[in-house]
Amino acid sequence: MKILITGGAGFIGSTLVKYIINKTNNEVINLDKLTYAGNLKSLETISENKRYSFEKVDIKDLDELSEVFNKYKPDSVMHLAAESHVDRSIAGPEGFVQTNIVGTYVLLEVVRKYFYALNKTKKSHFKFHHISTDEVYGDIGFSGNPSKENDTYKPSSPYSATKASSDHLVRSWARTYKLPFIITNSSNNYGPYHFPEKLIPLTIKNALEGKDIPIYGKGDQIRDWLYVEDHAKALYQVLKEGTLGETYNIGGNSEKRNIDVVIQICELLDEMDPASRKQGIKSYKDLITYTEDRPGHDLRYALDTSKIQEELGWQPSETFKSGIMKTIEWNLLNRKWSEDVLTAEDLQQESKNKLENL
């Protein structure tokens, strides 16, 4: 099977690409624009594999997308390309609208025309797998039941609203144009190769550098944490065994308050890398600082994962403790990776600023 993966140089995408190349005999076409969050260094271990190809393409570019489909003739599409950081969506929502909504629309149009041109046998095997987030269901509060696949969407941020929009686009193209689709919604991912702007990689990075570890409000917000390699396995299993037209929630069954996540990381770092003493502090926890909460910050997300467990037999392999241990160990061994991706982002921003000032 030839699988075209959009956003395959991102955090989840690169993990998925490596999983498919290393654990299956399928071919992967990785299509990525290579924004700040996309980094080919995350794929160096499989970059020379004959079953792997890379195309630098923006999903909003209809002509280039069409050329990729005509060149490789994929059997399935896994759509992960998206802007995904809530803080960035609040500061600049336009990029999220363009990538998550317009980009998904353009991709669906290319897929529609490509699908219609397939012969009967190829059509019968083709799948469009759209990867989304638990944030589309909105804030369920501290006492609410975990979100189920058929729950009403109530997105709160520009990010989650654009992801909800992309989900609706996929379902409408399926209903109107008969595209064979599957949607998955996952909880918060963490693990190796995570761009250091999200809570867990930022906490680790700042701690190791002796910088303040910022916490929004009191850190009472609750998230369900899913180890990224567990997510990759689930995504591939859904592609292979999931029922067309269905949605599957993928969660880690590890709900934790943000402050508890940060404290656990600090305590593990105290044991694994006790450099805090060199920084004149007793514990990395001394670096925790509390900042003004961000606008519209949801209290809690959680997913009911009974459907994927019962229908496909999937459940996460990692507990939060085992997953966070692996994540910290990787970060301790790969500090230069974080430095390089942040340097690359700075260079991208500098080039963008120069272009805007011309």
246 located within any domain: yes
β-pairing verdict for 27-32 and 52-56: parallel
Q: How far apart are CA 358 and CA 349, in angstroms?
A: 14
Kindly indicate the confidence band of residue 277, based on its pLDDT and cuts at 50, 70 and 90. low
Give the predicted TM-score (pTM) of the model.
0.93
Kindly indicate the confidence band of residue 27, based on its pLDDT and cuts at 50, 70 and 90. very high
Give the HSE-up count for residue 76: Cα atoms under 13 Å, Cβ half-sphere: 21
18 located within any domain: yes
46 located within any domain: yes
Q: Clarify whether 350 is annotated catalytic.
A: no
Measured in residues, the chain has a length of 358
**3-state secondary structure at position 249:** strand
Q: Clarify whether 139 is annotated catalytic.
A: no
The residue from 27, 32, 83, 134 that is catalytic is 134
Predicted confidence (pLDDT) at residue 138 exceeds the cutoff of 60: yes
**By residue range, what is the domain housing residue 33?**
2-190+226-251+297-318
* pLDDT of the residue at 278: 64
Predicted confidence (pLDDT) at residue 166 exceeds the cutoff of 60: yes
Q: Kindly report which listed range (36-40, 103-107, 115-119, 316-320) carries the lowest average pLDDT score.
A: 36-40
Q: How far apart are CA 117 and CA 344, in angstroms?
A: 40
The string of pLDDT tens digits covering residues 197-249 is 899 999 999 999 999 999 999 999 999 999 999 999 999 999 999 999 999 99
345 located within any domain: no
The residue from 52, 114, 137, 159 that is catalytic is 159
* pLDDT of the residue at 339: 81
> Would you tell me the crossing angle of helices 258-272 and 320-333 to the nearest 10 degrees?
50
Predicted confidence (pLDDT) at residue 252 exceeds the cutoff of 70: yes
Tokens 């609706």 sit at which residue? 168
In the chain, the amino acid numbered 151 is: D
124 located within any domain: yes
**Mean pLDDT across the chain, nearest whole number?**
93
Query: What CATH number does the domain containing 30 carry?
Result: 3.40.50.720
- Taking CA atoms, 208 is separated from 197, 205, 334, 335, in Å, by 15, 5, 12, 9
* pLDDT of the residue at 352: 43
User: Cα 323 vs. chain centroid, distance in angstroms?
Assistant: 16
* pLDDT of the residue at 347: 46
Query: Which of these, 279, 283, 273, 274, lies nearest to 335 by C-alpha position?
Result: 273
133 located within any domain: yes
Q: How far apart are CA 120 and CA 240, in angstroms?
A: 19
**3-state secondary structure at position 83:** coil
User: Cα 17 vs. chain centroid, distance in angstroms?
Assistant: 13
Q: In this prediction, what percent of the chain has a pLDDT beyond 70?
A: 94
**Number of domains within the chain:** 1
Kindly indicate the confidence band of residue 356, based on its pLDDT and cuts at 50, 70 and 90. very low
331 located within any domain: no
The residue from 27, 32, 83, 135 that is catalytic is 135
Q: How far apart are CA 78 and CA 70, in angstroms?
A: 17
The string of pLDDT tens digits covering residues 63-92 is 999 999 999 999 999 999 999 889 899 999
DSSP label at residue 103: I
Predicted confidence (pLDDT) at residue 57 exceeds the cutoff of 90: yes
Q: How far apart are CA 86 and CA 116, in angstroms?
A: 36
Q: Clarify whether 153 is annotated catalytic.
A: no
185 located within any domain: yes
